[in-house]
Amino acid sequence: MSQDFEIITVDASNLAQRGFFCYMSKPKSPGYRQKRLWLQARFAEGMKIKIIHEVGGRDTAFIEYIPGEFAWRAVYAPGYLVIHCLWVVGKGKHKGYGSRLVQECLNDARDQGKQGVVMVASDSNWLAGKKLFLHNGFTELNQAPPSFQLLVHRFSDGPVPSFPTDWEARQARFGPGLTVVRTSQCPYIENASAAFLQSAQNLNLPGREVELRSAQEVRELAPCPYGVFATVFDGRLLSYYYIDQFELEKRLQKILTGDQHG
């Protein structure tokens, strides 16, 4: 691993100057502003953001985590730290930065006397895959549809984290039409939400946006483990990540004509 880097901790004192890694080229965009305001409320709850900055270069990786009681994921993990995001970009890949940031989180959890660290992973999009975490001592506890794994690195024999088990009922509550379930946790959500609602309009489908405004609402109401963004169509999960307009409308047309998700 290259040592020509520094790890910068972002908190309330330097958020305005350092940003939060994502969307740095668009600080005036609605998504960026929403995320910044969201973070300002989270730091008091124990939120940590750590960024790897290569000396003489650029920010290449970051991790965001928070105590399980305040995690914006549909997971029950009191007494643990929960990783929201881990992202390594561009030339920062294959340098061990991901493992270094995971170890930073594990060390922080030990220092805080936590039971361990939890990650909701996926081999699809908008979440890190499980391989890196398994390499760093995590184990897979559970799975949830369509592509989520609950990973944990436990320090003791305390309570075991868990997923909810009522996903179909959660999705069904949103009823007919296309519902975008969202938060402000990710700056990319604003554009994704607008695009999905535009597609609904293009197809003359009823569309609406439901915002979850607290970690508790995410745990109790989110239609999938990702928690902070999902699209539900006619009471069934369509996607938890952005899909371009052509692909989304293709999927919706397939459902409308074949009465099935695919």
**What does the pLDDT look like over 9-18, one tens digit per residue?**
999 999 888 8
Q: Would the pLDDT of 223 be above 60?
A: yes
* Cα 86 from Cα 119, distance rounded (Å): 10
* CATH code where residue 25 lies: 3.40.630.30
In a domain, 162, yes or no: no
**What pLDDT, in 10s, does the model give residues 78-136?**
999 999 999 998 888 999 999 999 999 999 999 999 999 999 999 888 899 999 999 99
Q: What pLDDT shows up at residue 1?
A: 45
**15 and 125 inside one domain:** yes
Q: Would the pLDDT of 221 be above 90?
A: yes
* CATH code where residue 214 lies: 3.40.30.10
In a domain, 43, yes or no: yes
Domain stop point among 113, 133, 154:
154
**24 and 120 inside one domain:** yes
Query: How many domains does the chain contain in total?
Result: 2
Quote the pTM value: 0.92
Mean pLDDT across the chain, nearest whole number? Answer: 92
In a domain, 72, yes or no: yes
Residue 108 structural domain: 5-154
**149 and 172 inside one domain:** no
In a domain, 62, yes or no: yes
Q: What pLDDT shows up at residue 147?
A: 94
Q: What pLDDT shows up at residue 262?
A: 45
CB burial string 78-117: b at 16+ within 10 A, e below: ebbbbbbbbbbeeebeebebbebbbebbbebbeeeebbbb
**What pLDDT, in 10s, does the model give residues 180-192?**
999 999 888 999 9
